[in-house]
Structure formats: C-alpha cells, structure tokens
Amino acid sequence: MFWKKQKNVFKDKKNLEMINWKSASFLRHFTTRFWNIKPRKFTKLSVTHQKKVRVAIIRARELWLLPYIK
C-alpha cells in the first residue's frame, strides 16, 4: 500500500517565521478538533519544528489566544 507523502510546510523561510504564539490561526493547523496538539506522526514535521510548534501552542494557550479544551 502506498501512502501519499505530504509536503513539509516549513521548506520556505517565511513559514518558519510564523511559528510563534502570535499566529494563532496558523497554529490551529497543528491541533485536533478538541484542541489537543497533533503528534508528529500526523503533522509530518521534524523534531525541532514539532518542538517549536508545541512551545508556541502552549504559550498561546497561556495568553488565551487558543483554548485549552473544547
């Protein structure tokens, strides 16, 4: 069975700069519908990018830009 390989979102330098707590709409792509953080298996990110996304989501949650749970 062949799996469709997804593109890495962070090939461009512009998208790398978007990993911060201020870009709540961009961080929503990395959460489930119940606002859990998606695992690396589903996001297809590298370890360093997944860690940056995780920290950014946690900071956005502390400032109430993203909800903790639905």
Which spans in 1-70 are helix H?
13-17, 24-27, 40-43, 47-62
* Tokens standing for residue 22: 């201020």
Which domains, ranges and CATH numbers included, belong to the chain? 11-62 (4.10.640)
CB of 8 within 8 A of CB of 43?
A: no
Going residue by residue through the chain (70 aa), what tens digit of pLDDT does each one get?
Answer: 555 665 666 666 667 778 899 999 989 999 999 999 999 998 888 898 899 999 999 999 999 999 988 7
